[in-house]
Structure 1
């Protein structure tokens, strides 16, 4: 049976609990252990697919088509392994399953309660990973004290009772803030967080204390006293300039050694040579390339996390430092000038009409200025719309998402979506094969005839316009395996102009940068 590490958080959200869990998993893998990570999300939504990414962050899509929390992207990139729908669970999913079972009479007249029915369902979800793994890391979303988190915290408390301290470990991450006016770190929030955790029956086995700088030994001793821990089990986790330094940092601090000691695991020292090579390659970057990130969400680091990471991976593997310049698509006056100031332009996926006019302006500017251009999902659809209007002279051409009465619907709703109905989980999701056109730029980049990439969309190119585009410089360079869907386009006579309906960013990782992004950054460096 697997051994379990339960990651909880306190004081504040967004302090890097998911990244820390992934980094620890990477170090344990470097010790030769087979590791996986689960994210338990307390929100009532069944999945994040209908949530605003500006509020919740990016929706990550797994290979098998689950819409999940962005932390699963970190898990994949650190462990260099695909996650699946089995690696993410929400309170909405848990309650939905229990209610479905109650409606079918499975509980035989029992009063259905949070304890034991909801907690048992959570435990059953977690324990399905027992086989095939030495260690399972379970990240509980949110912070201690959240009402939504209580059933999940109760479930992991019960798992400690069932399995014992030798098979389970509680790792608690808190924020140690610095009060600028006082010029000192404050440990009181961490003390309160640990107290709240202990009140519900969970004694942390080690503490990870996030701070802007190193947490002094005197502060760690004080925290250890209040947390009922030895000082050796309290670790300071200062900010780093790149998250992929964390496996090396964790090993240097002995976090993995403390985990193995608690769980009674004996292994060789971790082989972190791949992470050292990546760190060294990142440190050797000299020249910068500026990528204009054309979107309506002002914080790409959260709303488009996988894209930001994929660009950074490509920069490291091509020796360039990628600087992202956000171009606000709701301010259209100077977009052409802002495009001209960048080395390359990227238009990512999105939903809704807000900001579309600005994106179309940016695409036109990139096309006319000869700027390297990469469009993804909506970025491809808008590249088709822009070309149809300005080059094919199809007046009023548009996507039916933005104009249902357009005379030239070059982008239409997928046939499977035409009946309408629920929005959540109904898009084209997950990986599917597509065939690359011979002698196309895309075929040259991938070096393959058939690829498999992940999707998340409900609109597509309208094949009724296929012949009109075939006679132009805009070529359909990839089609779905069944030839129903156009999967990618490219522009002849342009230095580098490619757009894909799929999301290649989900397949990029630090050790093996995605070929499409590497080619894009190389083209940007040559511009």
Structure 2
């Protein structure tokens, strides 16, 4: 029998309580006690993955090394732990039903009626067991997406109920994250929603072992005792999760102070081991006591939604950690920018970043901002579409190609400096048609990228369909935009730079998916370093 312990984290009362960060923080603490962990997200939506979903619906799409388009929570998993995730760490209802229906069509069920129980629940359990077998970790921590009471989550909850029945409480642990709201008029925290949420779980056959309660100030002993009594959970297993308003990286420290990791280990009969956590605590001290500050403009069409560029914002913060600098992000909608007001929007910024995205909306505003960064010598970082916009801007304003464009936006342009990858020209389906996942890149010695990475060969994650049109290579380099990163066969341009500029880098890949607070990505570290130089110069 496998020695792996299974921890399932469910959510109740409200969505967006922070299950993903809780999973990541618990993984961080268990690793600090010398245990190995695998983390998995079970999403109840029927989409195969979030790849074709709008960021307004789902936030950013996080891409794994093997090219899976996944939920943004997997970004937290990788940033907080040592885990290297793949498509097996991300499961959706769509994937489960797709696999079962494919087997039914092949006749694998020998003519039997295919049902939610046992066929769907068995497939869910199989995805969990596969992860445990492949990684042989001490713990598999699984986040069940959605909120208890949602009809979509029921098969997942039934599957984990079966696992508890099969393996017992010594191997399977249920953690339930709920909201304890404060009624504004009375100023009183109310435990009733948590009680009702636990009743919902009990109706499905699940008794939580641990309750984590989101609350705006620490729970009193009396409140914990009340929740313990009415929810049939041990007093010490009621954990207070107070709102954190400074850095998200304080959350593991908060859970450590609440002894969440000790409670989990005790509940599973595991040795608590010595906690080696000073590196994380020192990291948070550094974040909270940064000596410098820079203002970075992030110009993206989805800036109204905080989670749309979550990995970019986190990576900018990591770049700040590397430079002992607080990064203040100014979110600017490119549709608000034109040639007349671009200076008003960007005045006082120490760096300008244009992130990835799809679609024509806001492109002209991004191009105006990039021209401003290029001509005013403000550090610029273009990611994926941001790099493509930099190429278009340079083509229009330096090479003199007034209609320079991407065939994504203008298929009839006389100067399509960005165009679709040739092998995908005939593809019409939107899902699964992109260049996805990690690919190698060769850097030119002497380039900015080479000096930041300190390596000639790198590997970065991609998510795009369009590329720099290679026939324009010589014209761009003659006019001062160098192509400094290529695929190993030199057929695809990965990085563009302007060497006459203090720091102007555009990359076709997504470096934000390879950054951790403990290991800031070299390009984000370099970008913030140059921005802090401009900030210091501005002060002088």
Q: Normalization by structure 1: what TM-score?
A: 0.98
1:177 aligned onto 2:181: yes
What SS is found at the alignment partner of 2:157? helix
> What residue number does 2:444 align with?
437
Instruction: Classify the secondary structure of the residue corresponding to 1:484.
Output: coil
Paired with 2:53 and 2:375, the residues of 1 have a C-alpha distance of 35
**Residue 383 (structure 2) aligned to one of 365, 371, 376:** 376
SS at match of 1:410: strand
Residue 300 of structure 1 deviates from its aligned partner by: 5.7
**Residue aligning to 2:537:** none
Q: CA RMSD in A?
A: 1.0
Residue 348 (structure 1) aligned to one of 342, 345, 355: 355
Query: 1:525 corresponds to which residue?
Result: 532
State yes or no: 1:304 paired with 2:309: yes
| Number of the residue aligned with 1:315 | 320
Indicate conservation of the 8 Å contact 2:89/2:131, yes or no.
Answer: no
1:133-172 equivalences under 5 Å are 133-172=137-176
2:128 corresponds to 1:129: no
CA-to-partner distance for each residue in 1:371-410, whole Å, 9 max, x for gaps? Answer: 1000000000000001001110012110000001111100
Aligned to 1:326: 331
Q: Secondary structure at the match of 1:210?
A: strand
CA distance in 1, matches of 2:37, 2:382: 35
Mapped partners of 1:300, 1:195: distance in 2: 33
Matches within 5 A, 1:121-520: 121-131=123-133, 132-240=136-244, 241-299=246-304, 301-333=306-338, 334-520=341-527
Q: Which runs of 5+ in 1 are unaligned?
A: none
What's 1:82 paired with? 84
Write the distance in 1 (CA, Å) between the matches of 2:83 and 2:202.
Answer: 34
SS state of the match for residue 142, structure 2? Answer: strand
Counterpart position of 1:101 = 103
Work out the CA distance in 2 between the residues paired with 1:74 and 1:214.
24
**How many correspondences in the alignment?**
527
Q: Distance in 2 between matches of 1:449 and 1:421?
A: 36
- Does the 8 A contact of 1:340 with 1:369 survive in 2? no
> Could you list the runs of 5+ residues in structure 2 that have no partner in the other structure?
535-540
Aligned to 2:119: 117
Segment of structure 1 superposing worse, 156-165 or 248-257: 248-257
CA contact (8 A) 2:303 2:309 kept: no
Q: Report the CA distance between 1:421 and its aligned residue.
A: 2.5
Is 1:397–1:410's contact at 8 Å kept on the other side of the alignment? yes
* 1:247 CA displacement: 2.0
Residue 13, structure 1, aligned to residue 18, structure 2: no
Q: Distance in 2 between matches of 1:336 and 1:378?
A: 22
Q: Residue by residue, what CA displacement relative to the aligned partner does 1:287-342 show, whole Å, maximum 9, x if unpaired?
A: 21000000111346300111111110111221110000011111124223222221
1:250-306: CA deviation from partner (whole Å, max 9, x where unpaired): 122111111111111114121101111201211220321000000111346300111
- 1:126 Cα deviation after fit: 0.4
CA contact (8 A) 2:337 2:345 kept: no
Bigger Cα displacement from structure 2, 478-487 vs 127-136: 127-136
Query: Structure 2 CA distance, aligned partners of 1:289 and 1:74?
Result: 24
> Residue by residue, what CA displacement relative to the aligned partner does 1:79-133 show, whole Å, maximum 9, x if unpaired?
1331111111000000000000001111111111111110000000001123311
Shift of 1:54: 2.1
Counterparts of 2:301 and 2:475 in 1: how far apart (Å)? Answer: 31
Instruction: Write the distance in 1 (CA, Å) between the matches of 2:513 and 2:303.
Output: 21
Q: CA deviation at 1:422?
A: 1.6
